[in-house]
Amino acid sequence: IGLGLPALLRQQAAAEASRARARSVLIVFLTGAASHHDTFDMKPLAMLDYRGPFTPVDTNVPGIQITELYPRLSQCADRYALLRSVAHNAGGHPAGSLRVLGGDPASADKPTPTYPDWMSIASYLRHNPAQQIPNYVAINPVDRYDSFRIAGPAYLGPSYEPFKVTGNPDAPAFSVPNVGLKDEVGKRRLNERSELRRKIDRMRRDIDQTGLMRAFDNFDAQALRLLASPEAARAFDLSQEPDKLRDRYGRNRWGQQCLMARRLVEAGVDIVATEFDGPLCGRVANWDDHAVNHNVFEGLKHRCPFYDQAVAALIEDLFDRGLDRRVMVVVTGEFGRTPKISHSPSTGKGVASAKKGTMQPGRDHWPRATSILFAGGGIPAGEVIGSTNSRGEDAKDRVVGRDDFLATIYHHLEIDADHLALADFAGRPIPVLANGTPIRGLTRRRD
């Protein structure tokens, strides 16, 4: 007779937090890692075995060029900034993801996170028991690479997992479970069951010396609000959007994920994470463009139109709605890909991959340089920050590490990460940031 949602929403009410709740971050994660060489940091003067087949094109900002694969993003470059000098030394997908999302200093892969990711930390600090909608929502969650967990709350506990939305938002029968009961009979029955639950728990609550049962009451109340809230139902309901806008984002999984993300931050959700993977990526369903997996260039030609349309529409929509100062968009993967093109026999025929045994080009893991897109958050736009060397091998100007990247996100959320430590499972205080400075050029302009 217990509700299923309280476990998801069981969050500690007394947390040291910034209360500037208007600010949000929306992260689009490219699991497997996109090639910086073929997208935002092209090297047209490099040797042929480095530069690839794509042509850089001018954007609407003089002096900034990006790949021809992103025609829509090329026309809104005045609304985002590119960071081209991110570097670290974690070369595996799990380690690279844990480095970028949680600041884990380890360079070796590990099966589960040791440190909580920034999304979980922000959720912990921003918890508000009166909020109708969870403060951290993951649409196609950023959580796994094969059998490895690449994000999670670690020692903060499972209560700080996101509210997860799975499935394809573009599917005609898609719905988000456990949100916004539509019929009054269902709401009444839910309230009756909750009341019964409270009566059964009353005796234990009366003798409880820890306050835990009172906390359960708060969690149940939040779950009930989510289940019965018309505001929550509207926030997740894409049918509320005009067809023309849905078309603008793209009538596909990634486009509708981004549209739902925009609806959620507009409704007041603090943290929204969404992952671009699956069939739109090609045969192996991610951006891991080794030659054995994909023809890297065919893979990019297949998926980049979906990416370009969804991300450009998201940025433009946020600006058109006046959300660009309070909502920061971050688009990133775990690292870049090798500047020098490799060739290996394909392991299997499919979208963007030749039949088994066919030699095809690829790019491998490369943590020494990558590019990240930032938009909104009140940051100066139409700028490029940092650079790599002539072959795109190493960040060389204004090199940015993991803690600088995380410090920039915390700065936008007005979380004082420099002076914040959270207790691990043993009760030891663990600093949220080992060191790091918000990236100059990616912090909020003065109002």
Q: Which residues contact 265 (CB under 8 A, 6 or more apart)?
A: 24, 26, 272, 318, 323, 327
With a cut of 50, say whether residue 41 has pLDDT above it.
Answer: yes
User: Residues 392-415: pLDDT tens digits?
Assistant: 999 999 999 989 999 999 999 999
Residue 188 has pLDDT above 60, yes or no: no
Instruction: Quickly state the pLDDT bin for 196 (edges 50, 70, 90).
Output: very low
Average pLDDT score over the chain: 87
Residue in the block written with tokens 């959620």: 264
pLDDT per residue over 268-281, tens digit each?
Answer: 999 999 999 999 99
Instruction: Classify 144 as helix, strand or coil.
Output: strand
Q: Quick one: average pLDDT of 420-426?
A: 93
Q: Where would I find the beta strands (DSSP E) of 302-411? A: 327-332, 336-337, 342-345, 359-362, 365-366, 370-376, 383-385, 387-388, 395-397
Q: Count H helices, E strands: the chain?
A: 12, 20
Neighbours of 100 (CB within 10 A): 29
Percent of the chain with pLDDT over 70: 83
Average pLDDT over residues 365-383: 97
- Phi and psi at residue 386, in whole multiples of 5°? 80, 170
Distance CA 104, CA 406 (A): 11
Q: Report which residue type is found at 446.
A: R
Check residue 370 and give its pLDDT: 97
* Residue 255 confidence class, pLDDT cut points 50, 70, 90: very high
- Closest-CA residue to 330 (of 287, 273, 370): 273
Task: Please determine, for residue 225, whether its predicted confidence score (pLDDT) is greater than 70.
Answer: no
Q: How far apart are CA 255 and CA 252, in angstroms?
A: 5
Q: How do residues 20-32 score in pLDDT, each as one tens digit?
A: 457 999 999 999 9
Q: Point out the least confidently predicted range of 113-127, 175-189, 391-405.
A: 175-189
Instruction: Taking the CA atoms of 58, 60, 63 and 67 in sequence, report the sign of the dihedral they define.
Output: negative
Which of 144-148, 176-180, 197-201, 346-350 has the weakest average pLDDT? 197-201
Residue 421: pLDDT above 90?
yes
Q: CA quadruple 279, 247, 77, 327: dihedral positive or negative?
A: negative
Return phi, psi of residue 328, to 5°. Answer: -105, 130
Per-residue pLDDT tens over the stretch 129-177: 777 788 999 999 999 999 999 999 999 998 889 999 999 999 998 988 7
Lowest mean pLDDT among 252-256, 353-357, 424-428: 424-428
pLDDT at 423 over 60: yes
442: which 2 tokens?
């990616």
CA distances from 154 to 114, 149, 157, 187, 344 (A): 6, 10, 6, 34, 38
Q: Which of 37-41, 231-235, 383-387, 392-396 has the lowest mean pLDDT?
A: 231-235
Q: Residue with structure tokens 């940015």?
A: 400
Mean pLDDT across 83-103? 97
Angle at which helices 253-266 and 296-320 cross, to 10°: 30
> Does pLDDT of 203 surpass 80?
no
Mean pLDDT within 323-340:
98
pLDDT given at position 327: 98
Give the residues across from 337 on adjacent strands: 365
Q: What is residue 180's predicted lDDT score, i.e. its pLDDT?
A: 54
Task: Average the pLDDT over each of 17-21, 348-352, 412-416 and give the range with the smallest value.
Answer: 17-21
Cα–Cα distance list, 370 to 36, 109, 254, 332, 387 (Å): 5, 19, 22, 9, 10
- pLDDT at residue 178 in the model: 66
Helix axes of 118-125 and 402-412: crossing angle, nearest 10 degrees: 30
Helix pair 93-102, 402-412: axis angle to 10 deg: 40
Between 226 and 105, residue with greater pLDDT = 105
